[in-house]
Each structure stands twice: as C-alpha cells, then as structure tokens.
Amino acid sequence: SYGVTQPPSISVAPGETATMTCAGNNIGAKNVHWYQQKSGRAPVLAIFYDTDRPSGIPERFSGSNSGNTATLTISRVEAGDEAEYYCQVWDSSSGHVIFGGGTNLTVL
C-alpha cells in the first residue's frame, strides 16, 4: 500500500525558515494535508490541499507539492511553532487514509 516518509526531526533558529518534507511515489498527484500537534494536544490542521491555509493559521505557513515530494515551509520561525508536524494523504486505491511518521520541529 501507499506510504509517505518524513524526516524524524529538524532544528531551526528563531527567525529562520523551517522546511519539512513528505516523500511518496508521485505524491504530486495526490492532495496533501498537514497537521501541527503541540505536546499534549490534539492535532490542528495547518495546510490543506497542498497549499491552502485554514483561518487562524499564520501566513508564515505555506505548502507545495510536486513530483515525489510535498513540502511544508514555516517562515520566520517562532518558539510557539515548536511541535510535531504530520503530512497526510488519501490513498483511493486502498481506501486508506495515510499519515507520515511526523517531523519534530525544535526551535533552538
């Protein structure tokens, strides 16, 4: 069945840009959604349909998706962005929702 891979962790200094990837076979043909999960809390939708931001998510959050990689980018990173970030797709061939393993963002 379809799988997506995320790097386990990244570290970024405040004010810098955090780039998190989600790799999958021809993932560019799928819709990718991203969730932010802070410690002890339920996940929150951060980006949907590759590039769209729900209301309440800062403009510093953006997404892209092409080829075999989808990307979540957080510009001007703040301490409050520290969280686990999960990508998610729908695999219609298997009828399964697929999550990546998550990337832990540490703000130095």
Partner 1 sequence: QVQLVESGGGVVQPGKSLTISCEASGFKFTTYGMHWVRQAPGGGLEWVALISHDGRNVLYADSVKGRFTISTDNSRNRLYLQMNSLRAEDTAVYYCVRDRGTYQMLYYFGEWGQGTLVRVSS
Give the interface with partner 1 as residue ranges (CB under 8 A): 1, 31, 33, 35, 37, 42-45, 48, 84, 86, 88, 90, 95-102
Minimum Å gap between C-beta 45 and partner 1 is 6
When the beta carbons of 41 and 80 are compared against partner 1, the nearer one is: 41
> Could you give the CA distance from residue 14 to residue 91 in angstroms, rounded to a whole number?
36
Q: CA 69 → CA 63, 65, 92, 108, distances in Å? A: 11, 6, 19, 26
By C-beta, is 97 or 108 nearer to partner 1? 97
Least distance (Å) between residue 31 CB and partner 1: 7
Q: Are 48 and 58 in contact (CB under 8 A)?
A: no
Positions of E strands within 1-108: 9-12, 18-23, 33-37, 44-47, 61-66, 69-74, 83-91, 96-99, 103-107
Nearer of residues 16 and 91 to partner 1, judged by Cβ = 91
**Smallest distance, Å, CB 27 to partner 1?**
14
Q: Is 73 or 104 the residue whose CB approaches partner 1 more closely?
A: 104
